[in-house]
């Protein structure tokens, strides 16, 4: 993997991330394909709407279809017929979310499957082995993601565990060669809760490990947006300019713009697809609840002049009807549109960074995005 | 509308049905788009898989989005962005299925909406007005579809009502001009239960009305397949060769082939989409339950060498996984595949009729279709 910083505009960065499955233009948003499919969107539609990399969830893929199937099918790229880059999380976040069902030790985390209650043990080595089996282009280290709020002592101890596990993951990557012939990078995850000195400690310790990329974890977990922005800005200062930076699980269109301005290169979030399935549509002029009666006879597209399959072919009235009558096509069209919007947003951000006009464009977009249609 | 019989092969017919929205090659299968969308399939995918005409359900469209929306949006073609032909039923079949909620008189049928219990009254004139508002290329008369079994007296009286209503629908078509500038044909529906002389009476009375096309109704309602085939064969004898024949609500791939052999030109059925959403996949070598554990690591496509988006891009193992984890993409891919299969089947049948080799091909296909993968 090779990351090149093409241009910077204040702290905002335009880069190129080269993987064996293709080049990713950053800043980039990664649609979430938890179980080997981005919900309600076909693989060819992901290509059409400009997805350059998608995300899979290690926890879910480990449970179903499971390692035996993934290995025998030649990995996730081949299994789901997605030939562009894939990133997988480590499964840690999902496992730690099973608060009643898991137990953490220095060695790893024991958890019970949410499906059948069966017991499993994830160690740093194990999550690397699973991600080798998935074959993701970018693998994430096993980390502990502390809850919000969390006290300083917990955050400090958690930090130490995350650094220890990052080293073990790095060693496991050396010990277990890739199965499918392509290179798989390993990214570390900066933690530290809301404590700046702990964020700095975490970043420094992980930077010393010379990982291929760095994620900022433990944000967008309930803290105010301002705190998230402040911690993101603070944390990026400690990250090397020549490595990609990934803000995990973020976020709204506004979150993306604020974070791009603070030097983040990569994002993932279920919001465009999940909200889309709930009838919430993103446009350049703010959000709309497509179920609202006011769209009943509105013949206009969701976002006049915007390029998406949904937008170019169907009216607000038709979308509203599909949601009113619970038709699957509504879920499809809203998901396609929202992902198109997210991918447009980061592409446009990149263009503006390259032109050196990110700040004024971002200011204008923030005003437009605050609208409510 | 113009129907041309291009070629016959014994009783099997290859024709061309010309409408203002395009030419339909018969025999044809019409995917069902009950509420203004074929479930889980995009409009562009219907084009891709060869759908030449789709069906909408008057009862559902009348309730939602309702006439006001349909009229203000310029009809269903424009509302759902489908520029090929549309056929609508009269709503009669759905209304009569509401056995507890409806009351039939000589004038029409009063029913309560399954959605909110509101009362509505469908008359022959009303269903024409609704279908004018929908703007379907082919409208169906209001008919009474007797249940199976039903006694001869009931079937005879029902016949009389259906003929009376057909005349009233025909008059209404003359009285109410089309709203959107294109021609809309009206087809009558032959009823008569399982009584051949009543089928003959019904057909003759309706043929006297010189309708633009004839449907065979009241079949596939629970009677044995042999009875359906026998009645279809019997009924088509009384229908004019120069008019299209539509066997409503039928059926399995085998039903289609048997009925094409007996002179039917048009079919509709929810089976390919509904069964697809339940994980039942049609192939040239029989059906498969894609949830079956035996597909867990089967890297082959559903139907080797078959042309469908699903088949060309995804394995049985991947489809099985999608159904195992309840992903929407599974519903999409199975529906696309099954509709592709149905459209392939009728297209292939047409080719064989044109070549004069329908019977041996049909015999071979019936054997293959009987398989269970």
Chain B residues in contact with A33 (beta carbon < 8 A): none
Query: Over 90: is that where the pLDDT of B372 sits?
Result: no
Give me the residue from B81, B314, B325 closest to A81, CB to CB. B314
Residues 6+ away with beta carbon under 8 Å from A42? B309, B329, B332, B333
Length of chain B: 373
* B250-259 average pLDDT score: 98
Q: How far is A239 from chain B (nearest CA, A)?
A: 38
Token pair, residue A147, equals: 């809850």
B79 in A contact zone (CB under 8 Å): yes
* A213-223 average pLDDT score: 95
Which residue in the list A137, A143, A201, A268 is annotated as catalytic?
A268
Chain B residues in contact with A72 (beta carbon < 8 A): 297, 299
pLDDT at A92 (0 to 100): 84
B321 in A contact zone (CB under 8 Å): yes
pLDDT at A333 (0 to 100): 98
pLDDT at B115 (0 to 100): 92
pLDDT, tens only, B4-15: 999 999 999 999
Measured CA to CA, the distance from residue A319 to residue B321 in angstroms comes to 29
Cβ contact (<8 Å) for A318 and B79? yes
pLDDT, tens only, B156-198: 999 999 999 999 999 999 999 999 999 999 999 999 999 999 9
Q: Does residue B15 contact residue B4 with C-beta atoms inside 8 Å?
A: yes
Burial class (CB in 10 A: 0-12, 13-18, 19+), A370: exposed
CA atoms within 13 A on the CB side of B112: 7
Confidence of residue B138 (pLDDT cuts 50, 70, 90): very high
Q: Which residue has the tokens 């009063």?
A: B110
Confidence of residue A101 (pLDDT cuts 50, 70, 90): confident
pLDDT at A329 (0 to 100): 98
Q: What is the pTM of this model?
A: 0.98
Neighbour order of strands in the sheet with B12-19: B2-9, B12-19, B22-26
CA atoms within 13 A on the CB side of A179: 19
A67 in B contact zone (CB under 8 Å): no
Q: What is the average pLDDT score of chain B? A: 97
A63 in B contact zone (CB under 8 Å): no
pLDDT at B102 (0 to 100): 87
Cβ contact (<8 Å) for A64 and B324? yes
Please spell the DSSP secondary structure of A292-341, one letter per residue.
Answer: SGGGTT--S-SSTT---HHHHH--HHHHHHHHHTT-HHHHHHHHHHHHHH
Report the percentage of chain A scoring pLDDT > 70: 100
Q: Bigger pLDDT: B184 or B100?
A: B184
Interface probe, candidates A36, A37, A274, chain B, greatest B C-beta count within 10 A: A37
B8 has which bridge partners? B13
CB atoms within 10 A of CB A116: 7
User: Could you give the angle at the alpha carbon of A222 between the alpha carbons of A216 and A227, nearest 5°?
Assistant: 60
Cβ contact (<8 Å) for B329 and A296? no
pLDDT at A38 (0 to 100): 98
Kind and range of the H or E run holding B268: strand B266-268
Measured CA to CA, the distance from residue B115 to residue B26 in angstroms comes to 36
User: Could you give the angle at the alpha carbon of B20 between the alpha carbons of B15 and B23, nearest 5°?
Assistant: 25
Query: Over 80: is that where the pLDDT of B251 sits?
Result: yes
Q: How far is A81 from chain B (nearest CA, A)?
A: 7
pLDDT, tens only, A200-213: 999 999 999 999 99
Confidence of residue A102 (pLDDT cuts 50, 70, 90): confident
Kind and range of the H or E run holding B163: helix B152-175
Q: Does residue A190 contact residue A206 with C-beta atoms inside 8 Å?
A: yes
Burial class (CB in 10 A: 0-12, 13-18, 19+), A212: buried
A241 in B contact zone (CB under 8 Å): no
pLDDT, tens only, A239-255: 999 999 999 999 999 99
Q: Does residue A21 contact residue A83 with C-beta atoms inside 8 Å?
A: yes
Confidence of residue B95 (pLDDT cuts 50, 70, 90): confident
Query: Could you give the 3-state DSSP secondary structure of residue A5?
Result: strand
Measured CA to CA, the distance from residue A201 to residue B93 in angstroms comes to 71
Longest pairwise C-alpha distance within chain B: 62
Give me the residue from A68, A79, A329 closest to B42, CB to CB. A329
pLDDT at B147 (0 to 100): 86
Give me the residue from A44, A68, A297 closest to B69, CB to CB. A297
Give me the residue from B297, B299, B327 closest to A35, CB to CB. B327
Query: Over 90: is that where the pLDDT of A100 sits?
Result: no
Q: Which residue has the tokens 């169907």?
A: A314
Active site (annotated) includes residue A89: yes
Measured CA to CA, the distance from residue B256 to residue A177 in angstroms comes to 54
Give me the residue from B36, B80, B328 closest to A328, CB to CB. B328
Question: Which of A50-64, B63-77, B88-102 is predicted with the least confidence, judged by mean pLDDT?
Answer: B88-102
**Complete domains list, chain A, with CATH:** 53-268 (3.20.20.105), 276-369 (no CATH)
Q: How far is B8 from chain A (nearest CA, A)?
A: 39
Nearest to A347 by CA among A28, A48, A84: A28
A226 in B contact zone (CB under 8 Å): no
A315 in B contact zone (CB under 8 Å): yes
Query: Over 80: is that where the pLDDT of A93 sits?
Result: yes
Give me the residue from B64, B73, B299 closest to A324, CB to CB. B64
| Chain A, chain B: beta-carbon pairs less than 8 Å apart | 114
CB atoms within 10 A of CB A75: 21
Measured CA to CA, the distance from residue A43 to residue A21 in angstroms comes to 15
* Nearest-Cα residue of chain B relative to residue A71: B297
Report the percentage of chain B scoring pLDDT > 90: 94
Measured CA to CA, the distance from residue A185 to residue A246 in angstroms comes to 13
pLDDT, tens only, B285-312: 999 999 999 999 999 999 999 999 999 9
Q: What is the average pLDDT score of chain A? A: 97
Kind and range of the H or E run holding B322: helix B316-324
pLDDT at B83 (0 to 100): 98
Active site (annotated) includes residue B20: no
A79 in B contact zone (CB under 8 Å): yes
Residues 6+ away with beta carbon under 8 Å from A153? none
Please spell the DSSP secondary structure of A185-232, one letter per residue.
Answer: EEEEEE--TT-HHHHHHHHHHHHHTT-SEEEE-S-SSSS-HHHHHHHH
Query: Over 80: is that where the pLDDT of A221 sits?
Result: yes
Confidence of residue A372 (pLDDT cuts 50, 70, 90): confident
pLDDT at B107 (0 to 100): 96
Cβ contact (<8 Å) for B322 and A79? no
């Amino acid at each position: 993997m090779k990351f090149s910083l093409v241009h910077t505009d204040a702290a905002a960065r335009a880069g190129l991330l080269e993987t064996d499955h293709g080049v990713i233009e950053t800043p980039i948003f990664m649609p979430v394909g938890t179980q080997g499919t981005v919900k309600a969107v076909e693989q060819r539609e992901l290509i059409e709407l400009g997805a350059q990399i998608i995300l899979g969830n290690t926890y879910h893929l480990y449970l179903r279809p499971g390692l035996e199937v993934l290995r025998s099918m030649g990995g996730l790229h081949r299994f789901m017929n997605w030939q562009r880059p894939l990133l997988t999380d480590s499964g840690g976040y999902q496992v730690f979310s099973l608060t009643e069902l898991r137990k953490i030790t220095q060695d790893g985390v024991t958890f019970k499957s949410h499906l059948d209650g069966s017991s499993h043990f994830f160690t740093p080595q194990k999550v690397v082995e699973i991600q080798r089996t998935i074959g993701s282009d970018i693998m994430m280290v096993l980390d502990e993601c502390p809850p919000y709020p969390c006290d300083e002592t917990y955050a400090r101890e958690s930090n130490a565990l995350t650094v220890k596990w990052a080293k073990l993951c790095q060693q496991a990557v050396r010990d277990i060669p890739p199965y499918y012939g392509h290179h798989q990078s390993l990214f570390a995850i900066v933690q530290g809760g809301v404590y700046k000195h702990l964020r700095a400690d975490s970043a420094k310790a992980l930077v010393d490990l010379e990982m291929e990329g760095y994620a900022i974890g433990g944000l967008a977990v309930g803290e105010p947006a301002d705190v998230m922005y402040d911690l993101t800005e603070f944390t990026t200062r400690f990250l090397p300019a020549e490595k990609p930076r990934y803000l995990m699980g973020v976020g709204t269109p506004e979150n993306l713009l604020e974070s791009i301005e603070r030097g983040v290169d990569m994002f993932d979030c279920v919001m465009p697809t999940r909200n889309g399935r709930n009838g919430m549509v993103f446009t350049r002029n703010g959000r709309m609840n497509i179920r609202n009666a006011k769209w009943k006879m509105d013949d206009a597209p969701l976002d006049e002049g915007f390029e998406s399959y949904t937008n170019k072919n169907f009216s607000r009235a038709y979308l509203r009807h599909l949601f009113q009558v619970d038709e699957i096509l509504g879920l499809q069209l809203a998901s396609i549109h929202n992902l198109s919007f997210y991918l447009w947003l980061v592409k446009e951000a990149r263009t503006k960074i390259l032109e050196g006009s990110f700040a004024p464009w971002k200011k204008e977009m923030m005003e437009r995005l605050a609208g409510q249609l």
